[in-house]
Chain A
Amino acid sequence: MLRAAGLNLSVPGKVLCRDLNIVIKPGECWGILGRNGSGKTTLLHALSGLRAPDAGLVSWDGKPLPDYPRRELARQIGVLPQDEGHEFWGTALEYVLLGRYPHSRGFGITDGDEEAALAALQQMGMADMSHRTLITLSGGERQRVRIAMLLAQAPQHYCLDEPLQHLDLGHQAEALRLLQRLAVQEGKAVLMVLHETLWAGRYCDHILMLYDGGRALAGSAAELMTLKNLEELYQCGLREIETEVGSYFLPA
C-alpha cells in the first residue's frame, strides 16, 4: 500500500502540489490527469521515490521510501518514465532482461529471468520480435518493449508516465486492459499519467486531478470524471458524448 502524507512539491517559481494526502491500495488502478506542466510527472516521481518531496512523506507498506534499500524498493515499485532516449545496442530480449536487475543476485542471468522476460514480451505481443535489435524497431514497438521491461521487473506497484505514447488505438486498449488486469486480478496497484480522458474513465477506478496552483482532487473515477471537473481541469470548453462504453469528452 502506497501512502503519501502532507506532500508538498514545487519547481522553481511554481507550486505543483500542496499538502496532498492519498492512499493507493492493491487492486486499484489510478489515473493522474492534468494540464501540461501541472506537475503530473513530478508527482509520479515523488510517489515512486525518484524525487524527494519538499515536505511530507511517501511510504510503502508503512515504511518511508528512503528507508528501503534501492533494489528492494525496485522490487516493490516499478516506474516507466517518459522516454529518455537510450544508448542500447542489443536485442529487445536483452533490453527487457535488464528489468530483472532488482531480482538478480550477483552476476548471472538465470533461466527464470529469461522466462520472465520472454513472458513479458509475449504479453506485449512482441515475442516474435524478441531477437530484433532494439534500434530497428518502430516507435510504438519500442514503447511496447519498454512496457515489457516493466512487466519483467514485476513490482507490486506500477507507476507509468504516459504509457500510451506512440501506441496505435488497438495497442492502447490492449496495454490498458493488461494494466487493469494486473490490478483487478493480480492485486497489483497501478498509477499512470494519462491524457486520454476516454481511457482514464474506462480503465481507471480512481482519478487524481492536478490543477494549476497545487490543488488536487482525488477520488473514484465515477465521481470525478464529470464535464464540469474536466472543463475546469483543462481550462477548455468541452462536450460530453455518452456511449455504451463510456463518455467521450470533446472540445466544444
Chain B
Amino acid sequence: MSRPFLLALFLILTPLSLLAGVAFGSVDLSLGEVMCALAGKEAGLATDIVWQLRLPRVVSAFACGGLLALAGALLQALLRNPLADPYVLGISGGSAVAALAAMLFGLAAAAVNLAALGGALAAVGLVFALGFGRGGNMVRLLLTGVVLSAGFSALISLLLTLAPGAQVRGMLFWLMGDLSQAQAPGLALGVLVAALALAWWQANSLDILGLGELKARSLGVAVRPLQLGIYFTASAATAAVVVEAGAIGFVGLIVPHFVRLLGVSGHRWLLPLAVLAGGSFLTLADTLARTAIAPQQLPVGVLTALLGVPLLLFLLTRRT
C-alpha cells in the first residue's frame, strides 16, 4: 500500500474511531444524539454525557495512544533495537513506584498523579545520568534502563505485597493502564503535538541514525545532540501518558511495527502514521474496555495486548 493511501486511510479512520468512542458506552447514544450534543444545540443528558464524560476520555485515549506510538518509534530509532518500547528505559517503573507509594499512603488522585510525574522524571534523570554520562553509549543506556526497570519491578511487587487488599485492585488497574481517571486531555494532547512536530522536523536525521553512529556523523548529523533530543522527547511523551493513564502496555511496541509491516519506511511517514494508528487503536480499545461488560470497566492495557497480539502475529507471518 502506498504511503499517501495509508495516510488518507488513517485520516479517515481517526475521526471514525473518535466518533465510535463518543457514541458507545454504558448508555448507547444514537448518531443523531451525538451530533446534536457535539453541536451543542440543546442541553440534556446526552450533551452532558458527551461533553463531560466521553469526549475528554476519548481525546485522552487518542492522545495517549499517539504518544505511546511516537515514543516507541523514537526509542526504536535511538536504541536501534526493534524490541524497544516507551517503557524500556524505566520511565513507567519509576512512575509506578511513586504512584503506588502515594496510593499506599492514601493520598488523593491529584497527589497520585503528581507522584507519578515525579517518579517518571526521577527515572528519566537517573537513566540519563548513568546511561549518557561520560563515555556513555546506546548499549549502556539500554542496559541501564533495563536494569533499573527490573529494580522498579521488585519495588512494585513489594508495594503490592504491603498494600491492604482493598487497595490492590486500584493499584493493578494503574499498573495495567487505565483511562477511567483521564479527564484532562489538554496536557497529553499538547505534548503530542509538540513532540510530533519536534520529531518530524528531525525525521531525516532519524533515518540516518539507523545506519549507525559513525555513518551518521560522516553524513553531517550531530549525533549526540540528536540522541539527547530523542531521549527527552520520547521521555516527555511517555511521562505524559503515564501520568494521564498509567502504564498502558503494548501500543508503543507494536504500533510502529504495525505501520512498518504495512510497508512504510522513513520516519517522515512512519511518525505521523504511527501517531494516527496508535491514537485510533487505543481509542477503539478503550471503547471496548468500557462497553464489553458494561457497566464494569476493563483495564485498557489488557485489551491493547489481546487485540494487538493476533493482529501483529498475522502481519508478521503474512510478510515473510
Q: How far is the CA of A128 from the CA of B218 in the complex (A)?
A: 27
Q: Is the CB of B220 within 8 A of A90?
A: no
Task: Identify whether the interface residues of A are mostly helix, strand, loop, or mixed.
Answer: mixed
- The reply to whether the CB of B140 lies closer than 8 angstroms to some CB of chain A is no
Q: Is the CB of A89 within 8 A of B219?
A: no
Q: Is the CB of B221 within 8 A of A84?
A: no
Residues in A whose Cβ lies below 8 Å from that of B222: 70
Asked, given contacts A84-B213, A90-B265, whether A101 binds B208 with beta carbons under 8 Å apart, the answer is yes
Q: How far is the CA of A104 from the CA of B204 in the complex (A)?
A: 10
Interface residues of B in 189-231 (CB under 8 A from A): 204-205, 207-208, 210-215, 217-222
Residues in B whose Cβ lies below 8 Å from that of A48: 218
25 contacts between A and B (CB under 8 A): A45-B214, A50-B214, A74-B218, A75-B220, A78-B218, A79-B218, A81-B212, A85-B80, A85-B212, A86-B80, A86-B210, A86-B212, A87-B77, A88-B210, A88-B265, A89-B260, A90-B266, A94-B266, A101-B204, A101-B205, A101-B220, A101-B221, A102-B220, A104-B204, A107-B204
Contact of B214 among A81, A87, A153 (CB under 8 A): A81
Asked, given contacts A94-B265, A101-B204, A107-B204, whether A88 binds B211 with beta carbons under 8 Å apart, the answer is yes
Q: Is the CB of B218 within 8 A of A89?
A: no
Total count of chain A residues near the partner, CB < 8 A: 29
Q: How far is the CA of A89 from the CA of B81 in the complex (A)?
A: 13
Total count of chain B residues near the partner, CB < 8 A: 25
4 nearest A-B residue pairs (beta carbon): A84-B212, A90-B265, A74-B220, A71-B220
Q: How far is the CA of A89 from the CA of B214 in the complex (A)?
A: 19
How many A-B contacts if CB must be within 8 Å?
A: 71
Residues in B whose Cβ lies below 8 Å from that of A78: 218
Q: How far is the CA of A98 from the CA of B204 in the complex (A)?
A: 8
Asked, given contacts A73-B220, A87-B80, whether A98 binds B212 with beta carbons under 8 Å apart, the answer is no
Asked, given contacts A87-B76, A87-B77, whether A74 binds B213 with beta carbons under 8 Å apart, the answer is no
Smallest CB gap from B209: residue in A: A87
Q: Is the CB of A102 within 8 A of B210?
A: no
Smallest CB gap from A83: residue in B: B212
Residues in A whose Cβ lies below 8 Å from that of B219: 74, 98-99, 101-102, 153
B interface vs A, CB < 8 Å? 76-77, 80-82, 204-205, 207-208, 210-215, 217-222, 260, 265-266, 268
Smallest CB gap from A153: residue in B: B219
Asked, given contacts A87-B77, A89-B265, A101-B204, whether A81 binds B220 with beta carbons under 8 Å apart, the answer is no
Residues in B whose Cβ lies below 8 Å from that of A104: 204
Smallest CB gap from A79: residue in B: B218
B-contact 0/1 string along A177-193, CB 8 Å cutoff: 00000000000000000
Residues in B whose Cβ lies below 8 Å from that of A75: 220
Q: How far is the CA of A97 from the CA of B76 in the complex (A)?
A: 21
Q: How far is the CA of A77 from the CA of B220 in the complex (A)?
A: 10
Q: Is the CB of B266 within 8 A of A87?
A: no
Q: How far is the CA of A85 from the CA of B210 in the complex (A)?
A: 9
Residues in B whose Cβ lies below 8 Å from that of A70: 217, 220-222
Interface centre among A75, A78, A79, A81 (most CB of B within 10 A): A81
